[in-house]
Amino acid sequence: MPVTVSSKRLRREFIKKVKELSGQNLQSCYQCGMCTGNCPAAANMDISPRRIIELARLGLEEEIAGSQTVWICASCLACTVNCPRGFDLSKVMEAIRLLTLRKNIDRVRPEDIPPQERGELPQIAMVSGLRKFTG
């Protein structure tokens, strides 16, 4: 029996996965932009934190996948503590990162970190960085 995979179905799948992994209700965000306003890395991002939520709940996976934003997020939680809706954007950022990393697509290769730096970096930097950027 042929199975038709429509783009609409794929979008629904993406929204479902982000919701499941993050545990967040994407509809609760009312797009006030406090997350972007408080993000210390927003200036380096091509898509603002606020827009990530909007794109995620529309299921626009390709737009998000083509953006650097989730890889620039440092999980500092400035967005989380300042959200008037109690929405935890750090968990949505993590969910989107994991959807890539779990396909065995790593963001960082440990061997690319210069050996001298590997010796100097605090262990918490190595462990957390490799946790966030490798699958």
Partner 1 sequence: MSLAYYPGCTLKTTARNLEEPAVASMEALGFKLDELPRWNCCGAVYSLAEDDLIHQVAPVRNLIRAKEQGKNELVTLCAFCFNTLKRANLLMKEDVEKRNTLNSFMNEEIDYSGEVKVVHLLEVLRDEIGWGTLAEKVKLPLRELKVAPYYGCTLLRPREIAIDSVEDPTILREFLKALGASPVDFPESTRCCGSYQVISSPDDIAEYARAILNSALRHGAEALVLTCPLCDYNLGRGQKELMKKQSGIREMPLLYFTQLLALALGLGPRVCHFGLNHGSPESLLREKDLLPQVESVQPIGG
Interface residues with partner 1 (CB under 8 A)?
Answer: 20-23, 40-41, 44, 71-72, 74-78, 80-81, 88, 90-91, 93-95, 98, 107-108, 113, 117, 120-133
Cα(50)–Cα(32) distance, rounded to whole angstroms?
8
When the beta carbons of 5 and 43 are compared against partner 1, the nearer one is: 43
Q: Kindly state the smallest distance separating residue 21's Cβ from partner 1, in Å.
A: 5
Cα(53)–Cα(27) distance, rounded to whole angstroms?
9
By the 8 A CB rule, do 61 and 14 touch?
Answer: yes
By the 8 A CB rule, do 58 and 31 touch?
Answer: no
Return the percent helix, strand and coil in the chain, to nearest 5. 60, 0, 40
When the beta carbons of 7 and 16 are compared against partner 1, the nearer one is: 16
Q: Kindly state the smallest distance separating residue 24's Cβ from partner 1, in Å.
A: 9
Q: Kindly state the smallest distance separating residue 122's Cβ from partner 1, in Å.
A: 4
